[in-house]
C-alpha cells in the first residue's frame, strides 16, 4: 500500500538561509505522528513545506502523487490544515466557520447543502461546541475558537490532517479531549495525523510516533510501540537536555533533571 505522505530529502526556508535540512520521513494511514522540537527547530517550516505553502527542494509524495504536481485545490482536498491561531477578522457564526472546511470540495459558486450542515453540526458536537453554533466566532475565547477550528479541520474527512499546535490555548481537560479526538481520527477513521506540539508528555501518551526535530534536522523518528524507556529518554534528552522519564500505567512522563 502507498504511504499517505512520503517526504525525501526536504530542504526549505523563507528566501534567506535554509531552515529545513535534508528531512525524510513517512506517515501512514491510521497513524498519529507528533512533531516535537524547541522553538526555531523548523517544525512549522516542515509543516508548511508539506502543505505546499513554502517552496522546497527534495521530494514529497501525497498518496503516491508528487506534491509539486498537485494544484492548490487538489492539495487542499487531501490535506486538512490547522494553523496555530485562528485568522478570523470579521464576524462569522461558528457554523459558517466550520462550513468553510468544505470549500475544497465545493464549486466556486456552490454552497454547502443540508447534509454538509448536518455533518458540520456533528463535528461541533464532537468538540463540544454545538450549543454555540450560531454565536459570533469573534465573541469566543481563543480556546473555544481552537475547538471550532478543529471541527472545521475534521469536517471534510481529508486523508491527512496537519495541525500546528492545535491545543496551545486549551485547558487541561480540553487538551486531553483534543488528543483523544485526534487519536480517534487516526485509529478509527484511518486518517494520517501530523501534529506539531510543544508538550512531550501529551505526545508520548497519544502519538504512535514521535518525530524529533533539532536545528532544522530530523534527529529521531521513534515508534512509541517499539521503543523502550531508555531509548526514548536518550532521544528526548537530545532536544530538552537532562531529563528523567517516569512510567505510570503504561504511559511515559518527562521531568526536567
Three-class DSSP category at 242: coil
Which residues are paired to 33 by β-bridges? Answer: 194, 209
How near is the Cβ of 73 to other proteins at its closest, in Å? 5
Residue 200 near residue 176, CB atoms below 8 Å: no
Kindly state whether residue 111 participates in binding other proteins, applying the rule CB under 8 A.
yes
Query: Rounded CA gap, 255 and 177, in Å?
Result: 23
Nearer to other proteins, 158 or 204 (CB): 158
Contacting residue, 73, 118, 125, 131, with other proteins by CB under 8 A = 73
Decide if residue 53 touches other proteins (CB under 8 A): yes
Cell representation of residue 54: 513554502
How many residues touch other proteins (CB under 8 A)? 31
Q: Which is nearer to other proteins, 28 or 96 (CB)?
A: 96
Given 3, 22, 63, 96, the residue binding other proteins (CB under 8 A): 96
Q: How far apart are CA 3 and CA 163, in angstroms?
A: 19
Coil/strand/helix, residue 86: coil
**Binding residues among 126-155 for other proteins as defined by CB under 8 A:** 136, 139
For position 221 contacting other proteins by CB under 8 A, the verdict is no
How far apart (Å, rounded) are the C-alpha atoms in residues 84 and 127?
18
Question: Taking contact as CB under 8 A, which single stretch among the options 2-10, 56-64, 91-99, 238-246 is the one that binds other proteins?
Answer: 91-99
Amino acid at each position: 500500500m502507498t504511504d499517505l505522505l512520503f517526504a525525501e530529502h526536504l530542504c526549505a526556508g523563507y528566501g534567506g538561509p535554509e531552515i529545513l535540512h535534508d528531512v525524510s520521513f513517512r506517515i501512514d494511514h491510521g497513524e498519529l505522528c507528533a512533531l516535537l522540537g524547541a522553538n526555531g527547530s523548523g517544525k512549522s517550516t516542515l509543516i508548511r513545506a508539506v502543505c505546499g505553502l513554502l517552496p522546497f527542494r527534495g521530494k514529497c509524495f501525497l498518496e503516491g502523487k508528487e506534491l509539486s504536481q498537485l494544484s492548490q485545490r487538489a492539495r487542499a482536498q487531501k490535506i486538512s490544515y490547522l494553523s496555530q491561531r485562528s485568522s478570523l477578522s470579521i464576524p462569522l457564526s461558528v457554523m459558517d466557520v466550520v462550513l468553510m472546511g468544505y470549500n475544497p470540495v465545493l464549486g466556486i459558486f456552490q454552497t454547502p447543502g443540508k447534509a454538509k450542515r448536518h455533518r458540520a453540526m456533528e463535528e461541533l458536537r464532537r468538540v463540544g461546541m454545538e450549543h454555540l453554533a450560531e454565536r459570533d466566532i469573534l465573541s469566543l475565547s481563543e480556546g473555544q475558537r481552537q475547538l471550532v477550528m478543529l471541527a472545521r479541520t475534521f469536517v471534510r474527512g481529508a486523508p491527512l490532517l496537519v495541525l500546528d499546535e492545535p491545543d496551545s490555548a486549551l485547558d487541561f481537560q480540553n487538551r486531553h479531549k483534543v488528543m483523544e479526538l485526534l487519536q480517534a481520527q487516526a485509529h478509527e477513521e484511518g486518517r494520517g495525523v501530523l501534529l506539531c506540539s510543544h508538550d512531550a508528555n501529551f505526545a508520548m501518551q497519544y502519538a504512535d510516533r514521535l518525530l524529533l526535530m533539532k536545528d532544522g534536522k530530523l534527529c529521531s523518528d521513534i515508534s512509541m510501540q517499539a521503543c523502550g524507556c531508555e531509548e526514548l529518554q536518550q532521544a528526548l534528552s537530545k532536544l530538552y537536555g537532562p531529563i528523567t522519564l517516569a512510567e505510570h500505567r503504561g504511559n511515559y512522563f518527562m521531568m526536567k533533571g
